[in-house]
Amino acid sequence: MSLSEIRERIARAEAGAGRAPGSVALVAVSKVQPPDRVAAVLDQGHRLFGENRVQEAAERWPPFQERYAGIALHLVGPLQTNKARQAMEMFDAIHSLDRPKLARTLARLAQETGRCPDLFVQVNTGEEPQKAGVLPADADAFVAECRSLDLAVGGLMCIPPAEEEPSLHFALLAKIAARNGLDGLSMGMSGDFERAIALGATHVRVGSAIFGERDYG
């Protein structure tokens, strides 16, 4: 599927939900994709990309940033505290703030450097043991803890369980965000971004539908 088709589908979903055109940001998740596919999307004018590993992003993006102006990078995958400094330098947003230790590290670095990427707290809405994120029952307290550290949380993020109807998870995430006064909702991937937009997504993270299947081989 092409980038322009995805953009059209986003526009239709925005209109269908009575939302303003352009209210949903498309984070093109380029992890693992070969550089020629990434360049093709850059050539079509897209500038907002998501990566899930700090190291991979650090290797692949500097050459593109020399060739294309205005690139914004979002970290959508887990962040180890020992990579936090590098991540804060490289990314405009981090979608995976998921534990107190990481919050304390980011807060310290933000004080030290005077800048901080946009932050999304990842919520494990499906309460899956293998998945990152704070549990729904702990989300309010964690957001409050971040705020007490002067860490500006802008929104919430979730990755619904693969085998469940994602809309239930999107609705839960939206409810937690609303009661915490958070505007940002990072939710929706290739298979479900229209449903996420209907439930208020401000950022959809779409990979394979734009770039094609990932080849991990």
Ligand X SMILES: *Cc1c(COP(=O)(O)O)cnc(C)c1O
Residues making contact with ligand X (CB under 6 A): 29, 31, 52, 76-77, 159, 189-190, 205-209
Q: Which is nearer to ligand X, 84 or 204 (CB)?
A: 204
Minimum CB separation of residue 97 from ligand X in Å reads: 13
Q: What's the N-to-C CA distance of the chain in angstroms?
A: 22
Beta carbon nearer to ligand X, 52 or 124: 52
Task: Give the nearer residue to ligand X in terms of CB position, either 18 or 129.
Answer: 129
In the Cβ-directed half-sphere of 98, how many Cα atoms lie within 13 Å? 22
Q: Among residues 108 and 214, whose Cβ is nearest to ligand X?
A: 214
Contacts for 102 with CB less than 8 Å, ≥ 6 apart:
79, 81, 84
Smallest gap from Cβ 209 to ligand X, in A, equals 6
The structure tokens listed for 216 are 């991990």
Find the shortest distance in angstroms from Cβ 208 to ligand X: 3
Q: Is residue 49 helix, strand or coil?
A: strand
CB of 108 to ligand X, least distance (A): 25
CB of 137 to ligand X, least distance (A): 22
Considering beta carbons, is residue 132 or 171 the nearer one to ligand X?
132
E strands present in the chain:
25-29, 48-51, 72-75, 93-97, 118-122, 153-157, 184-186, 203-206
Q: Which is nearer to ligand X, 151 or 209 (CB)?
A: 209
Q: What residue type is 49 in one-letter code?
A: F
- Token digits of residue 53: 């590993």
What CA–CA distances, in Å, run from 101 to 22, 76, 104, 108, 188? 35, 18, 5, 11, 27
Q: Is the distance from CB of 119 to CB of 147 less than 8 angstroms? A: no
Are 48 and 81 in contact by the 8 Å Cβ rule? The answer is no
Least Å from the CB of residue 187 to ligand X: 9
